[in-house]
Amino acid sequence: MKHLGYTSFFASAVLVGTVAFGSLAQAEPTNLDELLKVVKAGNAEQNRLLKQRETAFRRNRAEQSRLLAAAKKEQKAAEKKGTELEKRFRDNELKLAELEKTLKVRLGTMGELFGVVRQVAADTAEQVRSSLVTVDKPGRVEKLLQLGASTELPSIDELRHLWVSIQEEMTEAGKVRRFVTNVSDAKGNPSQQEVVRVGAFNLVSNAGFLEYEPKTQTASVLGRQPPAQYIATSRSMMSAQSGMVRFAVDPSRGAILGLLVEAPTLEERLQLGGAVGYIILGLGFFALLVGIVRFVMLLLEDIKMRSQQRTREVRTDNPLGRVLRVYEDNRDLPTEDLERKLDEVIVRESGRVDRFIWIVKVVAGAAPLLGLLGTVTGMIRTFQTITLFGTGDPRLMAGGISEALVTTMLGLVVAIPLVLVHAVLTNSSKRIIDTIEEQAAGVVARRAESEGARG
C-alpha cells in the first residue's frame, strides 16, 4: 500500500509539476524527496504566476472600461457631428438648386451661346491642328483645346483668342510664305530645309510636295510624288522670289493630291493585266514591228517602181522591172505565151508584196479575243475571291476586276492601231500590184497591136 501510494503521488506530481519543471533550472531529482521538493517549488511558482496574471487582468479590465467609455463618447460626438453635416448637406443641396435656378434665369440665352463657343473652339482646334499654317506657327492649339473642354464660363481673353485664331487661319490661307523647318525624307531622316507654304493648301520643297502629319506635327516628303507636270509647278514655286507663278493648288487640302499619288502608273496598269496582258502586248509589239518594216519596204518598192516608169532602162531591183525583164527576155514568144509568162511573174511578185501582211491582220483580230479571255479569267478570279471572303471588302476583288478591265483595254489598244496599219499596208500593196498588172497589160496590148499590124 505504501508503495502504491508513492506511485500515485509520483504520477500526480509529474502531471502537476510538468509546467513548472521546465522553468526551474535544477538538476533532475534522484529520489522521491527531491522530486517532492521540485513539485512543491513548481506549484508555488505556478500560483505566483496565476496571481500575477489575475492582477494584470484586473488592471487591464479597468483600462479597457476606460477606453470603452472614451470610445462611446467619441461615437456620440461623431454621430452628433454626422447629423449636423447631413443637415448641412441637405441645406446646401437646396441652396445649390436655388442658385442653379437663379443662374439659369440670369444667363438666359447666354448659356446656349457659351455652348456654341465651346463647340466652335473644339472644331477650330481640330482644324488648326491639321492645318499647314501650324507648321510655321505652332502652339495655337492648346488654348483652343482648353476652351473646348472647359465647363466654366469663358473669359473675355479666351473669347478674344478664339476670334483671333479663326481670323489668323483665314488670313494665312491667302498667303504664300517661305520658311525653314524640319522635313523628313522618304527614309524618315529629318533635316532643316527651306519650304514654301501656299496658303493652307500645299507645302512644297526642293524635293517636291510635302505632307503634314498632325499627330506628330512634322512635315515629310511624299513617298510617291504626283505626275511630272505637277512637280514642275512646285519647282517653279521654289525658284520664284516674287511675281506670279503657275502652281497646282489642291483646294481640298490634300485629298486630290492623295488621289493623284495613289493613281497607278502605266507600268502598274500593265502589271494589273497579268499574263494575258503581257501576251497581248508582246503580240501587238511584234505585229506592229512587222507592219512598220513592211510599210518601209513597200514605200521603197513604190519609189523604185516610179523611178522605173520614168526610164527605159530595165532594172531588176523592183517588181515592175522584174516583170519588164521577163518581157524583154521573151520578145520572140507568141502573145499568148508571153501573157502566161507575165501572169506567172505577176503572181510571184504579188506574193512578195503581200508577204507577212497577214501577221498584222491576224494579231489585229486575235487581240480583242485575248482581251476577252483576260476578262473571263479576271471575273473567275473575282468570283473565287467572293466565294472565299465575301463582298465585305471591295479591295479583295480589285485584282480580278482590274485584270478583266485592263486586258480588255489592252486588246482594244493593240487591235485598233493594227487595223489601221493593216489598212495602210493593204492599200500600199494593192497600189503596187495594180501598177504591175497595168504595166503588164499595156505591154501585152502593145504586143498584140504590133502583131495585128504585121498580119
3-state secondary structure at position 137: coil
Inform me whether the pLDDT recorded for 9 exceeds 80: no
- For residue range 430-453, what is the model confidence (pLDDT) as tens digits? 999 998 888 888 878 877 777 666
- For residue range 145-176, what is the model confidence (pLDDT) as tens digits? 888 888 777 888 888 888 888 898 888 888 88
Residues 6+ apart with CB under 8 A from 407: 273, 274, 276, 277, 280, 370, 371, 373, 374, 375, 377, 378
Q: What is the pLDDT of residue 12?
A: 40
Q: What is the pLDDT of residue 111?
A: 66
Query: One-letter amino acid identity for 320?
Result: L
Percent of the chain scoring above 90 in pLDDT: 15
- For residue range 276-327, what is the model confidence (pLDDT) as tens digits? 889 999 999 999 999 999 999 999 998 988 888 888 888 888 888 888 888 8
pTM of the complete model: 0.56
- For residue range 352-410, what is the model confidence (pLDDT) as tens digits? 888 899 999 999 999 999 998 988 888 887 777 777 777 666 666 666 777 788 888 89
3-state secondary structure at position 22: coil
Return the residue matching grid coordinates 503634314: 212
Is residue 192 within 8 A of residue 181, CB to CB? The reply is yes
**CA dist 26 to 16, 48, 70, 261, Å?**
17, 19, 49, 103
Q: What is the pLDDT of residue 109?
A: 62
Mean pLDDT estimate for the chain: 82
Q: Please state, in angstroms and rounded to a whole number, the distance separating the CA atoms of residues 439 and 325.
A: 12
Q: What share of the chain is helix, strand, coil (3-state, %, to 5)?
A: 75, 5, 20
- Comparing CA positions, the residue from 340, 403, 338, 412 lying closest to residue 369 is 412
Q: What is the pLDDT of residue 420?
A: 95
Q: Please state, in angstroms and rounded to a whole number, the distance separating the CA atoms of residues 201 and 307.
A: 66
Strands 218-221 and 176-184, sheet pairing: parallel
Q: How far out from the chain centre does Cα 70 lie? A: 74
DSSP state of 186: T
- Comparing CA positions, the residue from 168, 111, 123 lying closest to residue 149 is 123
- For residue range 222-267, what is the model confidence (pLDDT) as tens digits? 878 888 888 888 888 888 888 888 888 888 877 788 778 777 777 7
3-state secondary structure at position 86: helix
